[in-house]
Amino acid sequence: MNADLKFMAEAIAAARKAWGNTHPNPAVGAVIVQGDRVVARGYTQPVGGDHAEIRALKDFREQGATVDAHTVLYVTLEPCSTEGRTGACTDAILGSGIRRVVIGAIDPNPAHRGRGVALLQKSGLSVTSGVLESECTDLNLIFNHWVSTGKPFIAAKIATTLDGRIATRGGLSKWITGPKAREDVMRWRSYFPAIAVGSGTVLADDPQLTIRQQGEPERSPQRFIFDRNLVTFRDERPKVYTDGFASQTIVVTPEARRTAAEAFSQKFGIQIWSLNEQNGDGGIQAFLDHCIEANIYGVYIEGGAHLLSGFLRAKALHYLFCYRAPKLLGDHSALAPFFGREPASMAESVQLAEVKHESFGDDQLMRGFLRYP
Amino acid sequence: MNADLKFMAEAIAAARKAWGNTHPNPAVGAVIVQGDRVVARGYTQPVGGDHAEIRALKDFREQGATVDAHTVLYVTLEPCSTEGRTGACTDAILGSGIRRVVIGAIDPNPAHRGRGVALLQKSGLSVTSGVLESECTDLNLIFNHWVSTGKPFIAAKIATTLDGRIATRGGLSKWITGPKAREDVMRWRSYFPAIAVGSGTVLADDPQLTIRQQGEPERSPQRFIFDRNLVTFRDERPKVYTDGFASQTIVVTPEARRTAAEAFSQKFGIQIWSLNEQNGDGGIQAFLDHCIEANIYGVYIEGGAHLLSGFLRAKALHYLFCYRAPKLLGDHSALAPFFGREPASMAESVQLAEVKHESFGDDQLMRGFLRYP
């Protein structure tokens, strides 16, 4: 069992190389092991390309290796058993002669769940599943949500002091957390196809909302600016409208603002999504529908409090990342991340499920799925 | 080195048996090892009794063991070199014939620091120090503070939601954290000679403020109730005035309230500390002085926000325990732990130093020493 944990950890490391580059497909990693040694590796290629198992099998052959009775395939997600854009992975595994397969997470797609395992077992292969299952499932927050709901996965990040504040009373938030926690934020930014912020955050911080990671060129996800009153369209232009990634900026505003917004947007080459509200939801339902039309399967909301609270009240926030730093402001008027709910008891709080704890230097992260009362 | 870590961990486990029972002396643990086996153990006895090393040496002799060239003494704190109420531990070690001593933390008392190590080395013993130093230092938060400042150690505990709230807008706080985190609170309560709460907490929660741990009889530390206006002296008597531990309850109130307070207190057998304010400090300086006179070397403040904020503003809070639970209230009017500061930037926040992270089920703890800007 210890060997299984060790090699599944290697498969997870391989999967991380596909991090953020496979949506809406899952990021999967695979390794092929012989005699206590990893002989071949593979990870999911961008949509239309090889799945992880196929890549690992190709790598195996390129190494000139030969399958024997002790060759084991480790893969972070149950192999697919349906021919999609690529052939079924179960067919490739059966064809390879490998007799043992170790699987991390089972396919969350209700239509496929367990079929890959059953198919391999029916052909006489030894299959172990559920190895490092939680870590393997955690590789695909967006895919898991998408295949089971058909909707985009909406996550939010907050960084607070020990007393739960996201900025001073004057709106200053640089910096609450330290460099290691901010690197982790960059890592998650790089996973999500889109970032969203509210107009207040643009005016207060003028953020870049790009992905800046050591050794890699700066790049940009889709950048949503929620701006109901077009207050960010002022003379001193924010970076998100004027930097080299302006074409990836999308201003989200009510349908009534469409004309004003489009006149402005054409000058800068940014996009406008003008949305109809439904039952006073601030256009959130229409936003989710638009995301799917635009092939955006996951959104990472970085604040501020108005945007976060709007999604929370609409129960449209699925996942929350809460960093906290070892400092206190001690000020009732310092800014809080959420408002607008009025729970009468602790039982009416919004709960996190499948909670994970991590540390980044002196900062802590708690993250999990939101469960609404 | 791995053996040193392993046996120091055993010495720490021994020290924990003295947890809370040695003030103002440190809780120390010692083990004597021969041939990769712990032969004898000892921990600090209550004031006037044996130190840990002496107990371990007595245990060693009682086992009929004999010191040989490979006998090693592990002790969590540098052995004392001065004859206090008990003989100097360095003398006992030298007399035992043991030739190697492994030490966790060096004595924090500026007058003794390093003297025990020097004495043993001068006599030709091999001494290793600093093994699991942080864990060994952490055993004696109260002693470490007391010997270096001559003042009581004031710590506070808060339990918050992810959005930094300690209760709903209606004051309900049961429960924010889960059973494992609450057990940890009981463990820290049992370390401190005294607990303190404000009058609002007594009225809202009617807490017992006793120590309830599995397999042990309920007991009570000194229980301070800070009650400026004697609002807790009403018809429906709080538990802290009427339970079997009322004689350990002390109401802290301004000098001007002395007569009213004493009339009430005599009926219930509780104590009154009537204190003079200095420079509008709410009597905090006088409280600290009174603690020393009463041989109370550490106080664990459990809330509410008024009491916590008063100590924070007076910079009289030395240590903070911050538990947080995986839930959100999302209500601006829910209760916050601290108020009254007005930091203009993040740099003016109160920082935690020597930060420790722990997990209790799904709850997180962050704790450390407060550093005021």
What ipTM was assigned to the predicted interfaces of this complex? 0.93
Per-window interface: A 156-215 vs B, CB < 8 A: 158, 160-165, 168-170, 172-176
* C-alpha torsion B345→B347→B349→B354, nearest 10: 160
- Three-class DSSP category at B153: strand
Judging contacts by C-beta atoms under 8 Å, the chain B residues touching residue A172 are: 344-346
Closest partner CB to A366 (pick from B168, B346, B364)? B364
Nearest Cα to Cα of residue A93 among A79, A114, A111, A108:
A79
Per residue in A168-184, pLDDT tens?
999 999 999 999 999 99
Per-window interface: B 25-84 vs A, CB < 8 A: none
Beta bridge partners of A195: A223, A300
The DSSP output letter for B344 is S
Catalytic sites of B, residue numbers: 53
- CA B72 to chain centroid, in Å, comes to 30
Closest partner CB to B163 (pick from A329, A332, A337)? A337
Largest Cα span, chain A: 70
pLDDT tens per residue, chain B (373 residues)? 589 999 999 999 999 999 999 999 999 999 999 989 999 999 999 988 899 999 999 999 999 999 999 999 999 999 998 766 567 899 999 999 999 999 999 999 888 899 999 999 999 999 999 999 999 999 999 999 999 999 999 999 999 999 999 999 999 999 999 999 999 999 999 999 999 999 999 999 999 999 998 888 999 999 999 999 999 998 678 999 999 999 999 999 999 999 999 988 888 899 999 999 888 888 999 999 999 999 999 999 998 999 999 999 999 999 999 999 999 999 999 999 999 999 999 999 999 999 999 999 999 999 999 999 9
Pairing status of strand A37-43 against strand B72-77? unpaired
Pairing status of strand B29-34 against strand A319-324? unpaired
The DSSP output letter for B317 is -
B265 neighbors B251 (Cβ within 8 angstroms): yes
B337 neighbors B358 (Cβ within 8 angstroms): no
Beta bridge partners of B271: B250
Q: A68 vs A95, A103, A362, CA distance in Å?
A: 13, 19, 48
Q: Which parts of B234-326 fold into alpha helices (H)?
A: 239-242, 258-268, 284-293, 305-313
* C-alpha torsion B263→B269→B271→B274, nearest 10: 0
Nearest Cα to Cα of residue B249 among B232, B259, B257:
B232
The DSSP H or E segment spanning A354 is: strand A350-360
Please give, rounded to a whole number of angstroms, the shortest distance from the CA of B204 to a CA of chain A: 14
- The predicted model scores a pTM of 0.94
Burial of A272 (0-12, 13-18, 19+ CB in 10 A): buried
Q: Under an 8 A CB cutoff, do B350 and A339 touch? A: no
Per residue in B178-224, pLDDT tens?
999 999 999 999 999 999 999 999 999 999 999 998 888 999 999 99
Q: Under an 8 A CB cutoff, do B329 and A320 touch? A: no
According to the model, what pLDDT value does residue A85 have?
A: 59
Residue A41 phi/psi, 5-degree rounding, is -135, 155
Give yes or no for B373 touching A (CB within 8 A): no
Q: B106 vs B46, B80, B130, B134, CA distance in Å?
A: 21, 10, 7, 11
Q: Under an 8 A CB cutoff, do A327 and B163 touch? A: no
Task: Please work out, in degrees rounded to the nearest 5, the angle formed at the alpha carbon of residue B65 by the alpha carbons of B62 and B66.
Answer: 125
Judging contacts by C-beta atoms under 8 Å, the chain B residues touching residue A309 are: 330
A60 neighbors A39 (Cβ within 8 angstroms): yes
Closest partner CB to A344 (pick from B165, B170, B362)? B170
Q: Tokens 């039982």 identify what position? A: A347
Both tokens assigned to A259 = 């004309």
Mutation site for A-interface testing, chosen from B307, B329, B360, B371 by largest number of A Cβ within 10 Å: B329
Catalytic sites of A, residue numbers: 53
Burial of A36 (0-12, 13-18, 19+ CB in 10 A): exposed
A164 neighbors A327 (Cβ within 8 angstroms): no
Q: Under an 8 A CB cutoff, do A331 and B312 touch? A: no
Q: Tokens 């039309």 identify what position? A: A293
